[in-house]
Amino acid sequence: MQAFRIQVPDKKIVPALVDKINNLTKPKGSLGRLEELAVQIGTIQQTLSPRLEKPQNIIFAADHGIVKEGVSFSAPEVTAQAIPNFLKGGAGINMFCRQHHFDLKIVDCGVNFDFNGLPGLIDRKIRKGTRNYLYEAAMTEEEFDRAIAIGAEMVDLVYSEGTNIISFGEMGIANTSSSSLWMTYLTGISLEQCVGAGSGLDKTGISHKYNVLKRSMENYTGDSSVPDVLRYFGGYEMVAAVGAMLRAAELRMIILIDGFIMTNCLLAAQKLYPAVMEYCIFGHQGDEVGHKLVLDYLGARALLHLDLRLGEGTGAICAFPIIDSAVRMINEMNDFKKAAVTKYFD
């Protein structure tokens, strides 16, 4: 696995950011979370006048071998079927990207289908889906390293295009199963609390999913290190997202975190490089049962709680206008002196 140099942003600028915000024409602290976001973004960018430049969302797509065990409500072929819909602009993520002026990139890391040079699709296929981790590791060490590198490569691409704020999404049937296993191993939260409905399982389906994942844990023979857990139970799209988050933090980009799957990818990234958290803004708390638990474990507060569970980056992009408001606040509001308004607090 490639190494990353992620630095905690210099906090010396924080008092100046707070002072600027406190002198805007409003009661002190009256814009709440917006003020916190402005301080965080200003600290990341090391400026009193932060900017959001060319936001982009990257969807990593891949299939999971564990899908053969009936752990998902959706059919295995849905991963491949979703790709043309993304590229034609007909998915939920496309609508949100258009609404909030995000560019969108779709990356095939390991979909079980031959797209034959489909226009607009970035082809980085490692393999046609991971192996079934009920019986063996999902990927080899070499494949794991390739997935990390793909994520980093995609971030380098958008960074070269002028992007400084980025979100990530995923497409991969059964990836809530892999996320649940990452979550239980990396947090110590019981597997039962980590397993939810995914794309729509009923109580019987959730019970079956839990039993399959429990058996997978019982069959695991690895060393329980973070890289080994990620490799054994992960998906190519999930590992690529981990690499992408780490590279984005290394480049001092603002990272918008989406739902259950992407939060568990951030959990994995944080276990490898704790400083990645400094660059993250959590878009929403989703409807998947374990999402609140993993957010609480990370000490994270989501901006929205709309019971979303679509994935693809949709919840992160829904939260973007709040982040935009925070930046506009610190840049566009007058201070008391310029507005000729009496400052009525110390």
- Active centre residues (catalytic): 312
As given in the structure block, the two tokens for residue 140 are 């080899």
Contact predicate 160/54, CB 8 Å: no
Contact predicate 290/183, CB 8 Å: yes
- The position carrying tokens 């990927």 is 139
As given in the structure block, the two tokens for residue 248 are 């984005």
Task: Provide φ and ψ at 221, rounded to 5°.
Answer: -120, 15
- N- to C-terminal Cα separation, the chain: 52
Q: Which amino acid is at 308?
A: L
CA 294 – CA 109 distance, rounded (Å): 25
As given in the structure block, the two tokens for residue 121 are 């699709």
CA 190 – CA 184 distance, rounded (Å): 6
CA 212 – CA 203 distance, rounded (Å): 14
Q: How many CB atoms lie within 10 A of CB 313?
A: 29
Bridging pattern class, strands 56-62 and 103-110: parallel
CA 195 – CA 31 distance, rounded (Å): 37
As given in the structure block, the two tokens for residue 71 are 């752990």
Contact predicate 329/310, CB 8 Å: no
280-282 sheet: strands from edge to edge: 121-123, 103-110, 56-62, 165-171, 254-257, 280-282
